[in-house]
Structure 1
Amino acid sequence: MAVVSVQQVSKVYGHRFSLVNALNNISFDIEPWEFVGIMGPSGAGKTTLLNMIATIDRPTHGQVLIKDQVVSRMREAKLANFRRQDLGFIFQDFNLLDSLTVRENMLLPLALDKLSVPVIEKRLDKVSRVLGISSLLDRYPDEVSIGQRQRVACGRAMITNPTLLLADEPTGSLDSKSATELLQYLTVINRQEKTTILLVTHDAFTASYCRRILFIKDGQLFSEIVRNGDRQQFFNQIIDMQATIGGGGRFNAVTPNR
């Protein structure tokens, strides 16, 4: 059973005389434990598609299923619980609360779950060890580096054991060293914790950590590539596809050896 099934999804904005087709009849599945990226030129519909899957927005036509549930038709009360229990979100700007410690920020998603203290502590210990932030738990966000803040945000997304981890340009605010560290941690989460990840990015280096890339152009699914060789080879394939759809070329790309 697919974790995500996007079925003939279209999204239209505007009024009768000024309609904009942000997405046009897109269909694909994401299988359990996949690490999938979405790429495309600016304005292609990447974020709109992510919002459909994240239940932040609803399609004009078609439907989105997560774990065989039609989330695009769920009522808001049920949807709120579904988001909290089954979806994890990593944002480019972290969205951490400065008045709370790292520990408190990470535990926020569990506040309504009425879990026992031993269960909470076990989850916190596991996630913080995987992400290498166990020593930071009693610090505040402004006392840690930008890369560490993003790992804290990642830990907050993982603490609920989500069915699907959604990341929107997660390396956009990071320097190359911090970005590499975060992507390596996401790879560990995907492989060792069996977490299904969907990542939106415009950056070929970031995308090269995925196992499959869906390319969107003008609101439509343009192509996809699957990683069969090493990451350098996959990076080159991504650059070539970006050039094909007008999103960049090999000579203005950043080398992945960083």
Structure 2
Amino acid sequence: MMRMAEVKQVSKNFGARQNLVRALNNISFKIERGEFVGVMGPSGAGKTTLLNVMSTIDQPTMGRIYLAGQEITTLPERDLAEFRRNNIGFIFQDFNLLPALSVRENLVMILSMLRLPADQVEQRLAYFSERLNLAELMSRYPNELSMGQKQRVAAARALMTRPQIVFADEPTGSLDSKSATELLQYLATINLEDETTIMMVTHDAFTASYCNRIIFIKDGALYAEVVRSGSRRQFFHQIIDMQAAIGGGNLSDFKNRL
């Protein structure tokens, strides 16, 4: 199996001297091609910082990061921008759709940067609009969409470039339970059938249960990993147990806090 991502002894500091904060602390792990990996941990554990340095939004203070066999921590900005455009997809909690453009235009715009032939653009548009059930929304504008519809459009936009890896930051955080479940089912299907590698930051055990493996971090360091081996229900309870442990309490205490 091809290694899609590798994080080697990565640290990330903010501030200086007396105000120095270490958000990531010498963390290392690997993600194989086709995995659906979740990142979880307490508030302030460094989850979003980790996603940012892996997805090229930010730079680590120390350590090395490899994506699709390329060390991204040494790339100059121009090469990094090209690598990002060709290899990485992003799904954010706040959608980041352009309000003046229709759904179709929001999706096509991302492909214009790749300079694809018109027939390939239409093929991808048709494929992902069917995959994420967007066909009836193509002429609408973002302010005419529900939260769940907006996130499905954002997911399609991230996938339209056929990236090597998709980074998702709390993609269900703004959604109701029905919309969240629909989005997660779409992502799980795309991961399984298209072998799209996904790394998703989440605080929610239900959302995380759609992953194949969960990386738990605490105080910026790797705390534990949980790998799915049975049903999603069993995996969900494994995640709950680990959340209770990482929070410093037992399972009954954790459930009482919900």
- TM-score category, normalised to shorter length: over 0.9
Aligned to 2:130: 129
Q: 1:96 to 1:252 in 2, by over 3 A?
A: farther
Query: 1:144 Cα deviation (Å)?
Result: 1.9
Aligned to 1:55: 56
Q: Are the counterparts in 2 of residues 239 and 253 from structure 1 also a CA contact under 8 Å? A: no
Give the letter aligned to residue 236 of structure 2. Answer: F
Query: 1:88 Cα deviation (Å)?
Result: 0.3
Give the letter aligned to residue 55 of structure 1. Answer: T
Query: 1:253 Cα deviation (Å)?
Result: 7.5
Moved more, 84-93 or 15-24: 15-24
Query: 1:16 Cα deviation (Å)?
Result: 2.0
Give structure 1 stretches of 5+ with no counterpart.
Answer: none
2:255 paired with 1:251: yes
Aligned to 1:103: 104
Counting only pairs closer than 5 Å after superposition, residues 211-222 of structure 1 correspond to structure 2 as: 211-222=212-223
Aligned to 1:29: 30
Aligned equivalents of 2:256, 2:50: Cα separation in 1: 27
Give the match's secondary structure for 2:19. coil
Q: Are the counterparts in 2 of residues 41 and 247 from structure 1 also a CA contact under 8 Å? A: no
The Cα offsets for residues 100-157 of structure 1, whole Å up to 9 and x where unpaired, read as 0000111121122221110100011001111111111111112221101100000000
Identity score, percent: 59
Aligned to 1:155: 156
Query: TM-score, with normalisation over the residues of structure 1?
Result: 0.95
Q: 1:173 to 1:90 in 2, by over 3 A?
A: same
Aligned to 1:11: 12
Query: 1:17 Cα deviation (Å)?
Result: 2.4
Give the match's secondary structure for 2:95. coil
Aligned equivalents of 1:251, 1:46: Cα separation in 2: 22
Give the match's secondary structure for 1:3. strand
Aligned equivalents of 2:257, 2:71: Cα separation in 1: 39
Give structure 2 stretches of 5+ with no counterpart.
Answer: none
Q: Are the counterparts in 2 of residues 40 and 215 from structure 1 also a CA contact under 8 Å? A: yes
Aligned equivalents of 1:15, 1:115: Cα separation in 2: 45
The Cα offsets for residues 67-123 of structure 1, whole Å up to 9 and x where unpaired, read as 111111111111111111100000001011111000011112112222111010001
Aligned to 1:224: 225
**Structure 1 runs of 4+ off > 4 angstroms?**
247-250
